[in-house]
Amino acid sequence: MHNIYTKIIASIHKYFKENSFDKAVIGVSGGIDSALCLKLTVDALGAGHVTALLMPEKGVSSDENYHHSKTLCEFIKVEYFSISINKFLTDYLSLPWKPNELAQINLKARIRMNLLYNFANTRNALVIGTSNKTELLLGYGTKYGDLAADLEIIGDLLKEDVYKLADHVGLPDEFLQKTPSAELYPEQTDEEELGVTYKELDTILKQIEEGKNKDDLINKGLNPHAVHKVFRLMEINQHKLKPPHLIKVRS
């Protein structure tokens, strides 16, 4: 893990220098991904150049996650702001088309990204993304929400690698042992929503990257439900990971 750590730190530093920025902002949720990204960004740029935004939804975000986020920011000595997103969500409920549940769930991630970019524009900072490779390959995230960022620093790490690197950099056990959740609604967990464990996902995704197809994986004894689920997610969510389609009128 040391080589991976060193490469990420050097790459963050290089990207900021090449683009003439020296400040970063990151949303910290209390989960392992954002905690690791905060630590890596601070190690690369220095605590004085990094700001964290804690953006809980009262009634949904757990007190534990908020406490862990706040404690980590104070321990690392970064500036942080806490902004509840409830008031923003409430305003959307008065729209004439009456947003459905999916629209409101995705809105949470988009409001948080709006706040991050509002801060970034105000302070001339870059927004650090917190999506890992498992999520990016599956398109597990919200378009123009948590999938939006200026720099994805753990985007080449599968979830299992995130845990290994988090342990390597010395993140507290509460982050390493916590059940992954985007806290989209009460009691939500990532694995329940996906219908597949991260361990299964990473096993399948590594095989796909080696060129294995659906039949190869099933014939090797992997869970057929999980295999079909992964291939379907990769197929239907490709649009989330590409720029908007540009209609060309000139050859």
- The first and second tokens of residue 186, run together, are 């009460």
* Cβ contact 128:153 at 8 Å: yes
Q: Confirm whether 108 is domain-assigned.
A: yes
Q: Confirm whether 45 is domain-assigned.
A: yes
Total number of domains constituting the chain:
2
The CATH number for 116's domain is 3.40.50.620
| Same domain? 209 vs 166 | no
| Same domain? 94 vs 152 | yes
- The DSSP code for 201 is H
Answer yes or no: is pLDDT of 251 > 80: no
* Cβ contact 144:114 at 8 Å: no
Rounded to a whole number of angstroms, the CA Rg of the chain reads: 19
Q: Which of 128, 154, 185 is the last residue of a domain?
A: 185
CA angle at residue 235 from 210 to 128, to 5 degrees?
80
Distance from C-alpha of 132 to C-alpha of 155, rounded to nearest angstrom: 4
Contacts of 78 by beta carbon, 8 Å cutoff, 6+ apart: 38, 42, 47, 50, 51, 52
| Same domain? 44 vs 159 | yes
| Residues 29-65: tens digit of each pLDDT | 999 999 999 999 999 999 999 999 999 999 999 999 9
- The DSSP code for 245 is P
Answer yes or no: is pLDDT of 162 > 80: yes
| Same domain? 9 vs 38 | yes
| Same domain? 135 vs 169 | yes
Extended beta strands in 117-202, E state: 126-129, 151-152
| Same domain? 145 vs 56 | yes
Q: Confirm whether 21 is domain-assigned.
A: yes
| Same domain? 10 vs 68 | yes
CA angle at residue 45 from 43 to 50, to 5 degrees?
95
* Cβ contact 64:30 at 8 Å: yes
Residue 59 sits in which domain range? 2-185
The pTM of this model reads 0.93
Distance from C-alpha of 135 to C-alpha of 101, rounded to nearest angstrom: 22
What pLDDT does 211 receive? 94
Q: What mean pLDDT comes out for the span 165-181?
A: 92
Contacts of 105 by beta carbon, 8 Å cutoff, 6+ apart: 184, 185
Residue 234 CB burial class (10 angstroms; 0-12, 13-18, ≥19): middle
| Same domain? 16 vs 126 | yes
What pLDDT does 77 receive? 96
Answer yes or no: is pLDDT of 117 > 80: yes
Q: Confirm whether 173 is domain-assigned.
A: yes
* Cβ contact 53:130 at 8 Å: no
Task: Indicate the average pLDDT of the chain.
Answer: 95
Q: Confirm whether 246 is domain-assigned.
A: yes
Among candidate residues 2, 79, 80, 9, the one with its CA nearest the CA of residue 41: 9
| Same domain? 122 vs 32 | yes
What pLDDT does 188 receive? 83
What pLDDT does 183 receive? 82
Q: Confirm whether 80 is domain-assigned.
A: yes
What pLDDT does 134 receive? 96
Q: Confirm whether 214 is domain-assigned.
A: yes
Q: Confirm whether 190 is domain-assigned.
A: no
Q: What mean pLDDT comes out for the span 4-15?
A: 98
